Chain A
Amino acid sequence: MTQLVPVLSAHWDEKDSFTIEAYTRHGGYKASQKALTMDPDAVIQLVKDSGLRGRGGAGFPTGMKWGFIPQGDNKDHYLVVNADESEPGTCKDTPLLMANPHVLIEGCIIACHAIRAKHAFIYIRGEVTHVVRRMNQAIEDAYKAGHLGNGVELVLHVGAGAYICGEETALLDSLEGFRGQPRLRPPFPAIAGLYARPTVVNNVESIASVPAIIANGAEWYQSMGTEKSKGTTLYSLSGHVNNPGQFEAPLGITLREILELSGGIRTGHTLKFWTPGGSSTPIFTQDHLDTPLDYEGVSAAGSMLGTKALQIFDETTCVVRAVLRWTEFYKHESCGKCTPCREGTWWLVQILRDLEAGKGTEADLAKLLDLCDNILGRSFCALGDGATSPITSSIQYFRDEYIAHITHGGCPFDPVASTLFVGAGA
């Protein structure tokens, strides 16, 4: 049985955990002091050795990303932290920043030293007023304490409601003051990122993991996780479970283990389908309860670890309704730059609406898959790819349920049964 190992979340249960006093009390800002005495290349090597991989979805090795920044080029370098958490199901960075904003600031100081950047930006989604307050206060306090302002300037940039800005190049355009639309790569941000300068873009959890790695060493981090997926990470459990929440564990824990620890599926119900890493990752079923939740394990089972957003749906949930709603989301959030995504997501919604309403035909299922085939891999960024994931995977596992909507002439499910307040007279 895999044990939970709180590292990032170790002190979240202290009332004042978000203050600089609490952070310092637990050894905060000692790792950055240590890192600043190290050669920047040694810091990069240490992060490489730790095996830390990007926690925003792609799983790219963090140290290697840092190593791509050209040195001695006499250009400004930038660090940009992606705190635009908006992938459906993903809810780890928000509680992290609410409870401990300073760990991200310390991570920024270390990362800036490593990549020789003097300027860092945290791009946070705009729909979290209190997290913005906490983050800005923490930055102010870190300046007062002298952790910032002596070589590193840090600016919190607040977004304004656009899922696409979680895509790193759209985020950079947005940060430059444009509409958030993805750029064609190459050039990658490491060569031409913010203001066309070498830029590292990392997820909140990736950067927040760095201080503990510096403090405890690469070997300590390496000792947790699986062969190619090292360390601990935050798994976010939500949906039809008795006890949803955040579970920090070594990579490779399974959903069955997390459910056993947390209290299982909603009492009296059974698991139907779930996402391993947000709505952009192909859905899983009961058959995947023992899939190791690391980058390789999830990938081998036909999905992606993504953001480790475990959204659980029991047998009361109509998969067609769930997929339609996700698809409406992708249609709404498509930035409109690339035709396959802009037009394709629009058509996916039309067809799925018909299917859900019982007005579809079996030919529509083939049409959906054909559309997905024409969206996948044909746009600048992965938004369109993500839109196809729930559709193709749900047809793979639940084709009969789509057919049932056609033969039944509508949705055979009672939406009230899937709510939390069923039977409460709501």
Chain B
Amino acid sequence: MAYSTEDLVIMDSIIKRYPRSRSSIMPLLHFVQSRIGYVDGEGIELIAKLLTLETAEVSAVASFYTQYKRKSVGEYHVGVCTNTLCAVMGGDAIFAGLKAHLGVENDGVTADGKVSLEHIECNAACDYAPVVMANWEFYDNQTVQSAKDLVDSMRQGNPQPPTRGPNSLVTWKEASAVLAGINDGKAHEGIQAGEPSLLGLKISKEGK
């Protein structure tokens, strides 16, 4: 059993957030990823048992959403936006560069288990293109070289901090816990907004 009594208490509190228990499937799946790193059979069975559902019902949900992984990803999961705007502005080159640099394909993990790579869709940061995400934290305005440096820092065990995020990059499992709704006390870290977010405000204050 991979889950402690404390884990079960947390899972129970997640279920109690909702008027109807089934609504808690998604945060519970994020929680399973925070403990195991991906969604495994035991996690599916546990959620099914807690919610009095068939395992097939839980699997059906888990397999629909791309953030739920069926196998281990790296300690740092890197997503390169290759939707049109980021792709055109350099995302395609960054993704190709990282594949070659890490020696992995899309959805691949480095042999040391440190970094996995995935091409992702638009991540709502187009004014910071080209964008790279790591454990779903923002790394803005990337180049091929800066992205290579970023993954190198991860493999050396000292990842660069996100551009708009906490003071240091948390691991995949730790990020999954945040997505399950568990407060890691880092909400106050990092900037409130990057320069592009503030550009209109700045121009307005200059009286234009």
Q: Are A244 and B23 in contact (CB under 8 A)?
A: no
Q: Are B120 and A127 in contact (CB under 8 A)?
A: yes
**With A89-B85, A247-B200 known to touch, is A157 a contact of B23 (CB < 8 Å)?**
yes
B149 nearest CB across to chain A (Å) = 12
A176 nearest CB across to chain B (Å) = 6
Among A94, A156, A177, A424, the one with the most B-chain Cβ atoms within 10 Å of its Cβ is A177
Q: Are B23 and A136 in contact (CB under 8 A)?
A: no
Closest partner residue, chain B, to A138 (CB atom): B187
Q: Taking the complex as formed, is B56 at the interface, i.e. its CB lies under 8 A from any CB of chain A?
A: no
Q: Are A244 and B196 in contact (CB under 8 A)?
A: yes
B22 nearest CB across to chain A (Å) = 4
**With A76-B19, A86-B122, A86-B124 known to touch, is A129 a contact of B85 (CB < 8 Å)?**
no
Closest partner residue, chain B, to A426 (CB atom): B144
One of B105-113, B127-135, B150-158 contacting the partner: B127-135
In-complex Cβ contact of A160 among B68, B82, B125, B129 (8 A): B68
B25 nearest CB across to chain A (Å) = 4
Q: Are A177 and B24 in contact (CB under 8 A)?
A: yes
Q: Are A177 and B25 in contact (CB under 8 A)?
A: yes
Q: Taking the complex as formed, is A188 at the interface, i.e. its CB lies under 8 A from any CB of chain B?
A: no
Q: Taking the complex as formed, is B75 at the interface, i.e. its CB lies under 8 A from any CB of chain A?
A: no
Q: Taking the complex as formed, is B6 at the interface, i.e. its CB lies under 8 A from any CB of chain A?
A: no
**With A3-B204, A5-B204 known to touch, is A99 a contact of B192 (CB < 8 Å)?**
yes
**With A321-B88, A325-B82 known to touch, is A261 a contact of B208 (CB < 8 Å)?**
yes
Closest partner residue, chain A, to B61 (CB atom): A179
Q: How many residues of A contact B (CB 8 A)?
A: 94
A8 nearest CB across to chain B (Å) = 10
Q: Taking the complex as formed, is B188 at the interface, i.e. its CB lies under 8 A from any CB of chain A?
A: yes
B195: which A residues are within 8 A, CB to CB?
245
CB proximity to B under 8 Å, residues A97-125: 98-99, 119, 125
- Hey, what's the 0/1 contact readout for A268-299 against B, CB within 8 Å counting as 1? 00000000000100000000000000000000
Closest partner residue, chain A, to B145 (CB atom): A426
In-complex Cβ contact of B199 among A126, A134, A246, A325 (8 A): A246
Q: Whole-angstrom distance between the alpha carbons of A192 and B122 in the complex?
A: 31
B49 nearest CB across to chain A (Å) = 15
Q: Taking the complex as formed, is B198 at the interface, i.e. its CB lies under 8 A from any CB of chain A?
A: yes
Q: Taking the complex as formed, is A402 at the interface, i.e. its CB lies under 8 A from any CB of chain B?
A: no
A-B contact count (CB 8 A): 281
B60: which A residues are within 8 A, CB to CB?
178-179
Closest partner residue, chain A, to B141 (CB atom): A420
One of A14-22, A65-73, A220-228 contacting the partner: A14-22
Q: Taking the complex as formed, is B162 at the interface, i.e. its CB lies under 8 A from any CB of chain A?
A: yes
Q: Are A325 and B83 in contact (CB under 8 A)?
A: yes
Q: Whole-angstrom distance between the alpha carbons of A329 and B190 in the complex?
A: 31
Q: Whole-angstrom distance between the alpha carbons of A313 and B89 in the complex?
A: 9
Closest partner residue, chain A, to B182 (CB atom): A136
Closest partner residue, chain B, to A140 (CB atom): B183
B191: which A residues are within 8 A, CB to CB?
15
Among A17, A156, A158, A424, the one with the most B-chain Cβ atoms within 10 Å of its Cβ is A158
Q: Whole-angstrom distance between the alpha carbons of A156 and B183 in the complex?
A: 12
Q: Taking the complex as formed, is B84 at the interface, i.e. its CB lies under 8 A from any CB of chain A?
A: yes
**With A246-B199, A248-B200 known to touch, is A160 a contact of B29 (CB < 8 Å)?**
yes
A67 nearest CB across to chain B (Å) = 24
Q: Whole-angstrom distance between the alpha carbons of A293 and B46 in the complex?
A: 51
Q: Taking the complex as formed, is A28 at the interface, i.e. its CB lies under 8 A from any CB of chain B?
A: no
CB proximity to B under 8 Å, residues A1-39: 3-6, 9-10, 12-19
A76: which B residues are within 8 A, CB to CB?
19
Q: Taking the complex as formed, is B179 at the interface, i.e. its CB lies under 8 A from any CB of chain A?
A: yes
Q: Whole-angstrom distance between the alpha carbons of A1 and B170 in the complex?
A: 46
Q: Taking the complex as formed, is A415 at the interface, i.e. its CB lies under 8 A from any CB of chain B?
A: yes
Q: Are B27 and A158 in contact (CB under 8 A)?
A: yes
Closest partner residue, chain B, to A118 (CB atom): B19
- Hey, what's the 0/1 contact readout for B136-166 against A, CB within 8 Å counting as 1? 1110010111000000000000000010111
B190: which A residues are within 8 A, CB to CB?
130
B200 nearest CB across to chain A (Å) = 4
- A-to-B contact residues, CB < 8 Å: 3-6, 9-10, 12-19, 76, 85-91, 93-95, 98-99, 119, 125-130, 132-134, 136-138, 140, 155-163, 174-180, 195, 235-240, 243-249, 261-262, 279, 309, 311, 313, 317, 321-322, 325-326, 329, 332-333, 335, 415-416, 418-421, 424, 426
Can you give 7 contacting A-B residue pairs, CB < 8 Å?
A: A9-B201, A13-B198, A133-B186, A157-B26, A158-B26, A262-B203, A421-B144
Known: A161-B68, A180-B65, A309-B126. 4 other contacts (CB 8 A): A3-B204, A130-B186, A159-B67, A246-B196
